[in-house]
Structure 1
Amino acid sequence: MIVAAAVSVPFIAILLHKARKHRKPYRKKVISIFTRFPSPGVTKTRLIPCLGEEGASYAQRRMTEHILERMKKYCRHHDDTDIAVWYNGSTEDNMRYWLIPKSGGDNFMYFFQQPSGGLGEKLREAALSGFRGNREYVVIIGSDIPGLEPGVMEEAFDALGGGTEMVLGQAEDGGYFLVGFSKAAVHKIGAVFDGIDWGTEKVFQQQCAKAKELDINLKILNTKLSDVDTEEDLSVLEGALQIHRQSLTDRKWSVIVPTMNEEENIIRTLQTVCQNCSSEARIQEIIVCDGGSKDNTVQKVKDFSQRVSVPVKVTHSQPGRGFQLKHGVEGATGDFLLFLHSDTHLPSNFDVAAESCLKRPGNVGGSFAWSVDTDRSDGWFFNLEMRILKYFTNRRIQNHELPFGDNAMFTTRHVYDQIGGFQEVYLLEDVLLVEGLWKVGHIGIAEGEPVITSARRWRKWGLFRITGLNRLILFAHYLGVSTETLALWYYGDKLRVVMAANKKNA
């Protein structure tokens, strides 16, 4: 027993030391953000006449993500500040899925359900709740002020730290976009929001008068901003988020297909894009990015483009899927991007299923369930192997948010640009893109039918060689082996020739 105690006490001491080491630092400031879960029909209802229910909901989603990212930027430069998200319209689980990426969130974010009652009651609870955490300063903002910069928070907290008891940021419509308090005013917060005619152009003046009545030392910030509530305010949204109104209401797809000597497969793949979309009008373009095919791939694509109404473009780049996909996206003009291998066929209404997946707040990318084209002539054992592969592939996609390129991955142009897009690599371009998506959100899976990928690789090389090598490559990647080294492992000497040619032509 004494020996056990002698062993356990140091062990417990180590655990306590680690707990202290990882304990969240004391933060004296909090930024409270008021928002609503972006559900169509109940979010930003005054924008519905001009944007529709889906467009108004998407505007709310983009504004919240935009303002939250700016406030995160402020907090990363000020380790004395927390963010409290005060939400309405959903559960905390849904809010966390929306606003905390798969790779993990910052440790300065908290979530609180907005209390019942009017805006005054909600503001009062948010302010008092901040001080219950023994903080010294609380600043409250809305999520529909896309012009709000971190510098405004600097001004607000500097004023509060300099002796001001209350700060207000005036909005263009007669209200205010920011209210903040120092702890010196905590005993007056209970009454400061009483008697305000919320939703009118009198709000700002009434709030100033109320502060004066309560003998609160008030400072008005130098910055005056506009919130986004009606059609007249959309120019503010478009300017701050660099988004056009059409991108809120009528978003279309660009399908990017990398090719290399695919004359046997490419036409059938392109046909499934045109035939299996809900409407050809939903496809902005198909971009075939060829890496230097020596067969008839390019000519077949050009001939196909003359027979369909969907625009089909051919571009050229150096070989390597990462290089080709990156080059293809550079010429894409759609709001949605879908990356399709030349031996993979899309399911019926793929565009509807993929867009529905991306509409879930938190999903910044997605893929389809996966299947493979086997038949009886392949033999019972090969079919069994493919069923096993299909099962574990779909488990990986569903449980680990880890699709690969032949799962037909998709995202929005906004997110693609945000994470820097594809890297110019010869291998693992899909995994690197996934890791980028994990940093900003989640990867969903489209409901409905799967994509169908050719079984030609497994027919030629066998399940254990192909899948085993893929797992070895992925494991080595996570250990830090460079993508160039991994590509040489995978492709061998033929890649050395390609790499040498690329360097010569660079």
Structure 2
Amino acid sequence: MHSLPASSLAVIIPTLNEAGEIVACLRTLQPLRAAGTEVIVIDGSSQDDTVALAAPLATQVCVTEAGRARQMNAGARLSRARHLLFLHADTRLPPDADRRIAAALADRHHWGRFDSRLAGRHPLLPVIAAAMTLRSRLTGIATGDQALFMTREAFDAVGGFPDQPLMEDIEMSRRLKRLSRPACLRQRVVSSGRRWERHGAWRTIRLMWRLRWRYWRGASPEALAEAYRHVR
């Protein structure tokens, strides 16, 4: 992997078989890229056309071992930007995200996230998004759907994302909270509600709360990942 020239912000997108989403995601990032933001796609050895589709629209595309935490850490190592934003392929940023992030990280915060909206037809999606935002404000814990961002110094200070197969965003938030409370930006990212619509909203809510409860009680990420795969 070759290092990129230094910039203010890197958007790091971990992908795995995201051919259906990656072009739309990257097209929305072209204004940021034109303004100097690094757009880095870290693919976990997809079996579809994700890499080929991403290549013309990203600053750099790298293929590595699958695992979201490993992929995000690889993207951070590849970048030389002062600020890092970790974005899911099915999440869209609000306008002026780069300036909003820069302002938030200049104001006593080492890290932060956006409020969120879930796109889809299920009537529970607005309720789920509102609950996600409220929970995050009360606990200071953020999820990947909320587009976590942080300074390079904060990322390095906590050792990057923990190399675990599930709840890596929850554990990363725990570690970053030792540095500061998160900047909770009220501007919304828009994430796909496909997970809730595909597997059933109530079923997915119960599953995620059960897994989080077990995680807080000390269950290993490996055991939770295995339970998640079986239920899905």
Equivalent residue of 1:441, what SS?
Answer: coil
1:371 to partner: Cα distance: 0.2
Equivalent residue of 1:369, what SS?
Answer: strand
CA contact (8 A) 2:7 2:80 kept: no
Which aligned pairs between 1:288-303 and structure 2 lie closer than 5 A? 288-303=41-56
1:303 to partner: Cα distance: 3.0
1:322 to partner: Cα distance: 1.1
Verify: 1:465 aligned to 2:203, yes or no: yes
Superposed CA offset, 1:270-326 (max 9, x none): 112223x4x73341x111111110010000011334xxxxxx211122111111111
Superposed CA offset, 1:79-118 (max 9, x none): xxxxxxxxxxxxxxxxxxxxxxxxxxxxxxxxxxxxxxxx
CA contact (8 A) 2:15 2:41 kept: yes
1:453 to partner: Cα distance: 0.4
- The CA distance in 2 between the partners of 1:373 and 1:444, in whole Å, is 23
Aligned residues: 227
User: What 5-or-longer segments of structure 1 have no aligned partner?
Assistant: 1-249, 306-311, 495-506
Q: Which of 348, 354, 357 in structure 1 is aligned with 2:104?
A: 357
Equivalent residue of 2:205, what SS?
Answer: helix
Opposite residue 484 of structure 1, the aligned amino acid is E
Equivalent residue of 1:445, what SS?
Answer: strand
Verify: 1:450 aligned to 2:188, yes or no: yes
What does residue 30 of structure 2 align with? 274
1:459 to partner: Cα distance: 1.2
Equivalent residue of 1:492, what SS?
Answer: helix
Quick check: 320-329 or 330-339, which moved more? 320-329
What does residue 176 of structure 2 align with? 437
Which aligned pairs between 1:146-225 and structure 2 lie closer than 5 A? none
Superposed CA offset, 1:193-233 (max 9, x none): xxxxxxxxxxxxxxxxxxxxxxxxxxxxxxxxxxxxxxxxx
Opposite residue 479 of structure 1, the aligned amino acid is R
Equivalent residue of 2:48, what SS?
Answer: coil
Q: Which of 93, 111, 114 in structure 2 is aligned with 1:346?
A: 93
CA contact (8 A) 2:12 2:86 kept: yes
TM-score, L = length of structure 2: 0.92
Q: Which of 316, 320, 331 in structure 1 is aligned with 2:63?
A: 316
1:355 to partner: Cα distance: 1.6
Distance 1:282 1:326, change over 3 A: same
1:372 to partner: Cα distance: 1.2
Opposite residue 369 of structure 1, the aligned amino acid is D
Q: State the structure with more CA Rg.
A: 1
Opposite residue 22 of structure 2, the aligned amino acid is I
- Percent identity at matched positions? 29
Superposed CA offset, 1:439-462 (max 9, x none): 111111124x30000111111111
- The CA distance in 1 between the partners of 2:117 and 2:20, in whole Å, is 20
Opposite residue 35 of structure 2, the aligned amino acid is A
Verify: 1:401 aligned to 2:140, yes or no: yes
**What is the CA RMSD across the aligned residues, in angstroms?**
1.8
1:251 to partner: Cα distance: 5.9
- The CA distance in 2 between the partners of 1:301 and 1:294, in whole Å, is 14
Equivalent residue of 2:29, what SS?
Answer: helix
User: What 5-or-longer segments of structure 2 have no aligned partner?
Assistant: 1-5
1:493 to partner: Cα distance: 9.8
Query: Which has more helix, going by share of residues?
Result: 1
TM-score, L = length of structure 1: 0.43
What does residue 369 of structure 1 align with? 115
Opposite residue 472 of structure 1, the aligned amino acid is R
CA contact (8 A) 1:367 1:408 kept: yes
Equivalent residue of 1:298, what SS?
Answer: helix
Equivalent residue of 2:203, what SS?
Answer: helix
